[in-house]
Amino acid sequence: MAAKPAAAEQVAGNSSAGLAIAESPECLRAFLATDDTLERWAQAAGLADHDTVRRIVRGWADGRLSPDLLGELIESLGRLLPDVVDADRVLITLDRFLGTLHSPLSAVALFQRDPSALKTLLAIVATSPYLAEIVLAEPDTWEQIRRGGGRPEKRESLRDVLRADIGNQTDPRLVMRALRRFKRREVLRIAYGDIVMDQRLETVVGQISAVADCVVAEAVRVAWLRQLQLRGEPLEADGTPATLTVLALGKLGGNELNYSSDIDLIFCFSAEGRVAGPKPCTNGEFFQRVVQEATKLISEQTELGSAYRVDLRLRPHGNQGPLVLPLAAVTQYYDRQGRTWERQAWVKARCIAGDQALGARLLASLEPWVYSRWLNRTDISGIRALKRRIEQRAVREGADEADLKTGRGGIRDIEFTIQFLQLLNGGDTPDIRGGNTIEAIRRLTASGGLTDQEREILERTYRLLRTVEHRLQILYDRQTHRLPDDDAEFVRLAVRTGYGNGPAAAARLRADLAEATRLNRRILDHLLHDAFPGEKKPEPEVDLILDPDPAAETVA
């Protein structure tokens, strides 16, 4: 048998790590020449689809990459791919990414000059197919984000960028495209800061919320302009221009929005009156059309998806009521008909768009109702009924342990109990008021409502649950809170959450989540028990009256 050439021997001896591939053009050619060396490299890199590996790597060799750059790239991938999730998908995405560029040579040269550039790209792509598709659609944006380090941006700066993107455009199709592209670019920036730079949870959710604020504000501005051009200006009875304000509730109101979450909005205009213009109508009709159009700009499905799912069900009268009411009607509704669960929702209310002064007036007028200094028996029973409803649904849906949000000791339990303590004590202690969960935990501690140990545990476990929730949601841009049942998928989740690879890492994550929910339940049960010592279990009819959305079996 003839002896192997020296280069072939060198590659064959080192192909598992790729150490010799870039040493010379001869070594690279020897590596590419036989399926055996490529397959051993692929296996060591954690790649299973060897046919695709051969096609991609040899395609690079036939392209515009110089031998030294290609050799360096292959060696780098040999070192990096074993540590990523879904290595085959990541390699395919990298190949597609290089194919979208005007100069793949420049990108690979960057990888050679700055090894962190390739490492961070692979980390983002491995974390989420959704993020990978954004990188492919916005390759130039990726380099800008990488250079900027995913740093947080101020709301004003974000709004200026989006306003410049839209300009004077009022064509709904073009506006919707601008809103969705803006959101996608900013999600990529935020994810870079989250995943690569390991930014704190408060920074991440604050940035996600700021992006949503800007999208809502611009959608409302464009919808207003379109109706203004079509119908004329809405005026109050005394001739003063009528205005519109937008309030966010839920996680957006608390500046703690998820990567994939509905946004809860309430619209309110200043006062009744009429539009004196080419198409006269009442102010109510004018603002109804503004809200309808703004909601469509935000939530309609396009080739780029929707910007956000908009939920308007928390408005006065819910789905049975108008989309928007004047200030006087809103305050009258809550004063006369507002229920405890609605007060709880308004704990997180925040003005995010439109007339800020009007929003401040609305919030100020409702604050005494939200944070009443005297809770009557119906108020207290209503709060407890909401808690029982959450627990009963968690059990009914089998989500006790697998659902990060509704499971026992999960995200909603923490948020609910903190809001409960705010409602219970906020009338006498204004300092504990506020919509952000982590900030509210700290304020309650400062006021004596929580011990330092309780604060430390609740903050730590809340951060863990929200971080894992983010990794689940960013995967495919889906609103999910449920842990995977499949063991292999759970291992992938452990990698994405920073626990490392393999069954042992997955076991550590499971154990940490179980311990977090156990500690939460112990603390939260203690807090609720202390608030209502010796309270008897109410009759089912009480929960039915107080529950705004009862289960079918409860009604039956």
Min mean pLDDT across 13-17, 306-310, 394-398, 409-413 is at 13-17
DSSP track, 128-145: -HHHHHHHHH-HHHHHHH
Instruction: Please give the pLDDT value at position 554.
Output: 37
Confidence of residue 536 (pLDDT cuts 50, 70, 90): low
Residue 128: pLDDT over 70: yes
Residue 402: pLDDT over 60: yes
C-beta separation of 82 from 114 below 8 A: no
Confidence of residue 400 (pLDDT cuts 50, 70, 90): low
Query: For residue 366, what are the CA distances in angstroms to 39, 262, 359, 548?
Result: 68, 24, 11, 21
Angle at the Cα of 48 from the Cα atoms of 43 and 49, rounded to 5 degrees: 120
Instruction: Please give the pLDDT value at position 389.
Output: 66
Instruction: Please give the pLDDT value at position 276.
Output: 85
Residue 550: pLDDT over 80: no
CA-based nearest residue to 466, from 481, 477, 486, 444:
481
Give CA–CA dist 278/239, Å, rounded. Answer: 17
**pLDDT tens sequence across 25-41:** 888 888 888 899 999 99
Residue 19: pLDDT over 70: no
Q: Which domains does the chain have, with CATH numbers?
A: 6-127 (no CATH), 155-370 (3.30.460.10), 377-555 (1.20.120.330)
> Greater confidence, 531 or 159?
159
**pLDDT tens sequence across 153-173:** 999 999 999 999 999 999 999
Q: What is the mean predicted confidence (pLDDT) over 75-102?
A: 95
For 341, list phi and psi in degrees, rounded to 5: -65, -30
Residue 152: pLDDT over 80: yes
Instruction: Please give the pLDDT value at position 377.
Output: 73
**pLDDT tens sequence across 239-251:** 999 999 999 999 9
Instruction: Please give the pLDDT value at position 368.
Output: 94
Residue 206: pLDDT over 80: yes
**pLDDT tens sequence across 420-434:** 899 889 999 999 999
Q: How far is CA 417 from the centre of its chain?
A: 22
CA-based nearest residue to 248, from 179, 327, 155, 345:
345
Token pair 């996600």 is found at 208
Confidence of residue 340 (pLDDT cuts 50, 70, 90): confident
Confidence of residue 63 (pLDDT cuts 50, 70, 90): confident
Token pair 């608390």 is found at 254
C-beta separation of 170 from 224 below 8 A: no
Instruction: Please give the pLDDT value at position 187.
Output: 97
Residue 549: pLDDT over 80: no
Token pair 């009022």 is found at 170
